[in-house]
Amino acid sequence: MKYLIVGLGNIGAEYADTRHNIGFMVLDELAKQENAKFYNMKHGYYTEVSHKGRTLHLVKPTTFMNLSGKALNYWMKELKIPVENVLVIVDDIALPLGTLRLKPKGSAAGHNGLKHIEYTLGHNNYARLRFGVSDNFPKGRQVDYVLSGFDDDELPELPALIERSIEMVKSFATIGTELTMTQFNK
């Protein structure tokens, strides 16, 4: 069984460790735990890890956030992975920090990466792991907020949240969306 796990983010040092790059951060930690190395390939940094007889194909798109669908679509076709085995990890300002939500489908909710994936696929029926990054910004400052780093008081929480995200990714690949939601969405 093959799974495509796409962590959304932007390439470049100036974007590393920003709220918008939490998808990259989760996949970086998962790869590190499995001693896997990312390789710069077409439309993404790519590696694969095994978990309980399943292959998790990890992709960090190099297309930049607003063209995420291009990378996701390319890797789905290249690896012949059906959309029901695709999981997108994305930052979500509608959820407080510490909230992780797996959803089988849903709206882009204004997120440009999800909007482009929906546009490219022609539907929104793909699983996404929404990683809450809070919405602690003044009106009209959303872009600056998601492209900024986590606050000093938030940083200590990140390792446990990233670890829980990894558990959810592995659970998605072994027991599926519904059971993972039951187990992890609180």
Active site residue 20: yes
What is the DSSP code string of 13-68? GGGTTBGGGHHHHHHHHHHHHTT---EEETTEEEEEEEETTEEEEEEEESS-GGGH
List Cα–Cα distances, 16 to 22, 137, 146, 161, 185, in angstroms.
Answer: 9, 20, 12, 17, 27
Q: Single out the catalytic residue among 20, 57, 111, 116.
A: 20
User: Which H/E stretch holds residue 143?
Assistant: helix 142-146
The number of C-alpha atoms within 13 Å of 68 and in the hemisphere containing its C-beta is 28
Q: What is the DSSP letter of 87?
A: E
Taking the C-alpha atoms of residue 156 and residue 121, their distance in angstroms, rounded to an integer, is: 37
Helix (H, G, I), strand (E, B) or coil at 85: helix
The CA angle 13-55-157, to the nearest 5 degrees, is 45
- Token pair 């796409």 in the structure block, residue: 6
> Among all residues, which ones are annotated catalytic?
20
